[in-house]
Amino acid sequence: MNAFEYASPTSVEQAVRALAGAESSEGLSGGTDLLCRLKDSVSSPSRVVYLKAIADEGFRGVFAEGDGLAIGAGTSLAALLADEAIAAKYPALKQAARSVATPQIRNMATVGGNLLQRPRCWYYRSGFGLLGGRRDGDTARLVRELEGEYAPYNINLVGLPADGHLVRLGDNRYHAIFMTDGDALYVNPSSLAPALIALGATAEIVGPDGSRTVPIADLYRIPSSEGERELTVATDEVLTRVLLPPPKGKNAFYEIRQKQAHDWPLVLASVCLEMDGDTVRQASILLGAVAPVPYRAEAAEAALAGKKLDRSTAEAAGQAATTGAKPLSKNGYKVPLVKTAVKRALLRAAGDEYWTAMEA
Amino acid sequence: MASWPDSTRVIGAAVPRLDGLAKASGRAKYPSDERPDGVLFAAILHSPHAHAKITKIDTSKAEAIPGVKAVHLIAEEGATVRYHGEEIAAVAAESEEIARDGCRAIAIEFEVLPHAVTEEQALSDNAPRLTPRGNTQEGRAQQDGDPDAALAEAAATVEGHYSLPVITHVCLETHGQVVRWDGPDRMTVWASTQNVDGVESEMAGAFEIPATNVTVLTPVMGGGFGSKFGADTWGVAAGQLAKKTGRPVWLFLDRIQEHLTAGNRPSASAKIKIGADKSGKITAMIAETQGTGGISRGAAFPLPYVYEVPNSRRQHTDVRINGGNARAMRAPGHPQGCAMMEFAVDDLAEALGMDPLQVRLNSLAEQDTVPSGDGQPINRSEIYRAQIELGRKAIGWDQRKSRAENAKAQGPLKRGFGMALHQWGGGGRDDKQVTCIINPDGSVELRSATQDIGTGCRTILAQIAAEVLGLEPTAISSNIGNSQFPPGQASGGSTTTPSMAPPAYNAALKAREQLFRRIAGALDAEPGDLEARGGVILVKGEREVPWKEACRKLGTMPVSVTEGFLEGLTAQGVGGCQFVDLTVDVETGVVRLNKIVAVQDTGLILNMLTWKSQVYGGVIMGLNYGLFEELVMDPTTGLALNPDMELYKLAGASDIPEIEIIPFDNEQMRKRGVIGVGEPPTIATAAAIGNAVANALGTRVPAFPMSPWNVLNALAKA
């Protein structure tokens, strides 16, 4: 870890100024991601700006906003989980929050941090960047870049083909199965983002030039070259609030992970269903942990539109959700998980948790 | 020949650990908690490459960092590093953070060499030559009878190919020590070790000072599992840094180094052909096995295992890779051998159309003799039969359905049952000693160099003295983990308690005898008139003199005796079996454990609480092996990808099912004497889990761990 300046502003305005006034800066909220990156020298900002002392109204907590809700970015996941309005109207969001890490981590981690954490890809976390070690399309000299003043290791790989990609050649069991034609093969790590996108939420972002509001999906992009961030929020901007429109119909979330305790999702799905009686008028189906961005399962949405929601249509929608999957060498197992996650999220929304009990 | 008392008050009882509250409350001071005055913190710089020659090392930038006090090179210019994580240098500084900065400021030029970090890479045609003798080493061929003919005649045969990955010990307290020089030829070492006496002699040897001048202290420690027997390069480095700076040096590995350089359990794979006769008794087995123990260690494991296989042949190959070296890990070799054997036995039962439990019963040797402390040998096969019956009932084996029935069952949840048998030694060594001191104020102290690796040894020794002296265990100071004390057993092979309990008993008996001799006169009695019980000295069966008052009659001189082994108090050779009930969700590949039953014999159980704690710990370690653990190596970069506790997965509380422990504890077992229990209960768990998964799915998942990808990949092929 390199030494850094530390700022602890008490307002968003001060925070933006502090973030903007440094050579490189990072916002620190719960620290459950940033501290790991700092210690592993994956990130070495010259200034760390602590966001938890911000006292602006609305920055922390869940508030009524019209017929919807406004969630402060500084709200802890534990508080999100405990909120009665969310439990009543947005069960998908509550289920997503509950799936994250452990109670201790949820006490520290925040909504903003969950949305803006960096990918967990083990090549990225080992210092090879987000694009499998490729620098401008060339891996002839692969650089392991641990940032900062002391960067002692350059790894010159022996025998790596010039078009080689660490993720494609290596262990990609946790990597993307959609949008895998490019070089960004990590998966978006946020559990809340797919739920929020399905629910039609937007994010309020404050920067030096004032405030802007974008759909949650637009927080993410796919970098085309190393050094480009996968987040659209600039380093001198602060995510301040998440705005949830009034709930439309049913919503639910389902996550598949190896361990019950403290684990990352292998695949997750979040759905929001506008209903006409028993029939689905419009479905919003988002997948997590399968692509470099939260991934909208359009084929599944189309398969469900105008259908009655039952086990057979849910199964068909799950199958449709796998359309376009192009798994890598070791993660083909995720394709059936997509089907299962979508089917179960849909049936959870319908109150049919068929997978919780053995059939007689 | 000595024997344990027939009726006991404290021995065998469920006595809470004497240091339990201190440990649970954080008051206990572990070696890594030690901060002697003036302490410096040190960090290790490790190899970022799987294989490279160090062409240049420049430490000047590191030395120039304010707060860096000394740099010690472990590898010199010209040396070759052979795995990611191998130690290169150590830096001592005023804080751990500065020490890490110092490590990063050491400029090293490497000539990167081709690597092979997986067995597949190491065995490929264009693999680099990793050792002068090549990348493989053949084990000695085993042959018994005529397996080819026996397989040809078998009523049923089956062929399987099974594999287990490399896993690591994941000691919660990482490897390391604090070293303080107390003079030019004298040092104190607070070491996180399972071998206090061994660290003493290694440090004395490394620094060419008398062993008697080295004091190694391990009052408590945070896990070793076989990986903490030595002083290690970092122990010597800490000593060098302390010498250079004239200040005590704290040096503990970080989590990455703990995974990569502090030992692992080797991988194992086996191609097995096995056959049985019509009655369902194993008749033959042919196995080709393989494993890697890193760059220079072997990957041996026992096979055939437990069962009698009259005709067998086996060829084993150790594969060298650019990986950290294996170290002993809780029952070295046995979990691998058990999984390979038990998978084959289960698959064979399937081919026979028989209950695998019955094939196991059929295939036990008629006579499997193990010793007993009372000189009456025991047939372990009879123990297994009785244990299997207990486990069968406890798990509800009769609810088990066949693989075919489960495969046809509706719904995503499939329930499966599995079992496995294991064996272990666990006897005592006869060359260790314990001192028992009774002070005139009535306080009692035991002393031995041996350490409590977490098994409860400290409490057990106190119980033994308490039994003999008629006191409560809390009245005994059990001072262990100090190399200045009489020689103590290293904690390996489940030998600590069986090695230390006899001398503790012996010393307490002799101390009591001496006490009686010295105070009898003052109590107007003969030594033979005295008894110690219930916190008093009972004179002639009538008069009660409180313990403290009686001890005051000693005057100023305490009773102090040091005694060794007694024949007849220990034995070795245990058996056990484990049963697993689990549910597999075939739409997700996720395995959830419903219940595990562990039946275990280890002779005389000295403390039922710490004994059970060992079995719980062993089962949990085993279920991690079965479900979660795997050190992942990247073939391209040669680096380990998950040297952490995040993607190196370990069970949390919600992943652990009900665990029912059945002590196989009866008169005959108690007469055997003390046998260690640290290792056996971790052996069979993963094997039983794998068999339960096969039962649930109707198909074998050949590769551990039983993860969603391995489960779904096996289902896709089925």
Residue A226 lies in a domain: no
Residue A85 lies in a domain: no
- pLDDT digit string (tens) for A154-208? 555 555 666 789 999 999 999 999 999 999 999 999 999 999 999 999 999 999 9
The interface predicted TM-score (ipTM) is 0.95
Number of domains in chain A: 3
- pLDDT digit string (tens) for B326-358? 999 999 999 999 999 999 999 999 999 999 999
Does A333 sit within 8 Å of B712, measured CB to CB?
Answer: yes
**What burial class does residue B245 get, using C-beta atoms within 10 Å of its C-beta: 0-12 exposed, 13-18 middle, 19+ buried?**
middle
Does B108 sit within 8 Å of A152, measured CB to CB?
Answer: yes
Q: Output the DSSP codes for A274-336.
A: EEETTEEEEEEEEEESSSSS-EE-HHHHHHHTT-B-SHHHHHHHHHHHTTT----TT-TTHHH
- pLDDT digit string (tens) for B1-47? 899 999 999 999 999 999 999 999 999 999 999 999 999 999 999 99
Which residues of chain B make contact with A257, given a CB cutoff of 8 A?
A: 590
**CA pair distance B458, B478, nearest whole angstrom:** 6
Task: Check: CB of residue A141 under 8 Å from CB of residue A155.
Answer: no
CA distances from B695 to B356, B396, B417, B510 (A): 10, 14, 6, 56
| Out of A150, A260, A340, closest to residue B587 by CB | A340
Which residues, at least 6 apart from B563, have a Cβ–Cβ distance to it below 8 Å?
Answer: B433, B434, B436, B503, B506, B507, B509, B510
Q: Does B592 touch chain A (CB under 8 A)?
A: yes
Instruction: Please state the separation of Cα B416 from the chain's center in Å.
Output: 29
Which residues of chain B make contact with A171, given a CB cutoff of 8 A?
A: 632, 634-635, 641
Which residues of chain B make contact with A120, given a CB cutoff of 8 A?
A: 647
Residue A111 lies in a domain: no
Q: Does A173 touch chain B (CB under 8 A)?
A: yes
Is the pLDDT confidence value at A79 over 70?
yes
Nearest CA in chain B to A333: B709
Q: Does A335 touch chain B (CB under 8 A)?
A: no
Task: Name the residue range of residue A338's domain.
Answer: 250-352
Which residues, at least 6 apart from A22, have a Cβ–Cβ distance to it below 8 Å?
Answer: A5, A45, A46, A47
Is the pLDDT confidence value at A153 over 90?
no
Strands A47-50 and A5-7: parallel
Q: Which of A137, A154, A169 is the last residue of a domain?
A: A169
Which residues of chain B make contact with A169, given a CB cutoff of 8 A?
A: 635-636
Residue A32 lies in a domain: yes
- pLDDT digit string (tens) for A22-39? 999 999 999 999 999 998
Q: Which of A137, A152, A169 is the last residue of a domain?
A: A169
Residue A60 lies in a domain: no
Q: Give the residue-averaged pLDDT of B521-540.
A: 97
- Residue to mutate among A4, A319, A358, with most B CBs inside 10 A, is A358
Q: How many CB pairs under 8 A join A and B?
A: 129
Domain architecture of chain B: domains with CATH: 20-28+428-563 (3.30.365.10), 34-114+175-252 (3.90.1170.50), 264-427+571-717 (3.30.365.10)
Q: Which of A169, A187, A203 is the last residue of a domain?
A: A169
Does A333 sit within 8 Å of B708, measured CB to CB?
Answer: yes
Nearest CA in chain A to B61: A150
pLDDT at A156: 53
Does B637 sit within 8 Å of A166, measured CB to CB?
Answer: yes
pLDDT at A225: 85
Which residues of chain B make contact with A153, given a CB cutoff of 8 A?
A: 48-49
Map tokens 């700092």 to a residue: A38
Q: Does B99 touch chain A (CB under 8 A)?
A: no
- Residue to mutate among B47, B255, B637, B712, with most A CBs inside 10 A, is B637
Please give the share of chain B, as a percent, with pLDDT higher than 90: 98
Is the pLDDT confidence value at B164 over 90?
yes
Q: Give the residue-averaged pLDDT of B404-416.
A: 95
Q: Does A319 touch chain B (CB under 8 A)?
A: no
One-letter amino acid at B136 equals: T
Which residues of chain A make contact with B108, given a CB cutoff of 8 A?
A: 152
Which residues, at least 6 apart from B268, have a Cβ–Cβ distance to it below 8 Å?
Answer: B163, B164, B289, B290, B291, B299, B301, B336, B337, B339, B340
Q: Does B106 touch chain A (CB under 8 A)?
A: yes
Is the pLDDT confidence value at B292 over 70?
yes
Count of residues making up chain B: 718
**CA pair distance B419, A317, nearest whole angstrom:** 40
Strands A210-215 and A202-207: antiparallel
Does B628 sit within 8 Å of A258, measured CB to CB?
Answer: yes
Mean pLDDT of chain A: 92
pLDDT at A133: 79
A129 and A44 in a single domain? The answer is: no
- pLDDT digit string (tens) for A92-147? 999 999 999 999 999 999 999 999 999 999 999 988 889 987 765 555 445 565 54
Task: Check: CB of residue B372 under 8 Å from CB of residue B671.
Answer: yes
CA distances from B48 to B81, B116, B256, B640, B641 (A): 9, 15, 11, 10, 12
Is the pLDDT confidence value at B562 over 60?
yes
Is the pLDDT confidence value at A151 over 50?
no
Map tokens 């070259």 to a residue: A225
Residue A212 lies in a domain: no
Q: Does B56 touch chain A (CB under 8 A)?
A: no
Residue A236 lies in a domain: no
Does B637 sit within 8 Å of A155, measured CB to CB?
Answer: yes
Residue A79 lies in a domain: no
Nearest CA in chain B to A259: B655
- pLDDT digit string (tens) for B412-471? 999 999 999 999 999 999 999 999 999 999 999 999 999 999 999 999 999 999 999 999
Q: Does B49 touch chain A (CB under 8 A)?
A: yes
pLDDT at A357: 86
Q: Name the minimum distance, in Å, from the CA of B352 to any CA of chain A.
A: 28
A344 and A263 in a single domain? The answer is: yes
Does B113 sit within 8 Å of A256, measured CB to CB?
Answer: no
Q: Does A336 touch chain B (CB under 8 A)?
A: yes
Does B647 sit within 8 Å of A155, measured CB to CB?
Answer: no
Q: How many helices (H) and strands (E) does chain A have?
A: 12, 12
**CA pair distance B470, B53, nearest whole angstrom:** 64
- pLDDT digit string (tens) for B175-217? 999 999 999 999 999 999 999 999 999 999 999 999 999 999 9
A36 and A126 in a single domain? The answer is: no
pLDDT at A148: 42
Does A170 sit within 8 Å of B635, measured CB to CB?
Answer: yes
CA distances from A132 to A141, A170, A360, B115 (A): 13, 9, 48, 19
Which residues of chain B make contact with A343, given a CB cutoff of 8 A?
A: 587
Does B583 sit within 8 Å of A153, measured CB to CB?
Answer: no
| Out of B641, B708, B709, closest to residue A122 by CB | B641
Which residues of chain B make contact with A175, given a CB cutoff of 8 A?
A: none
The CATH number for A320's domain is 3.30.390.50
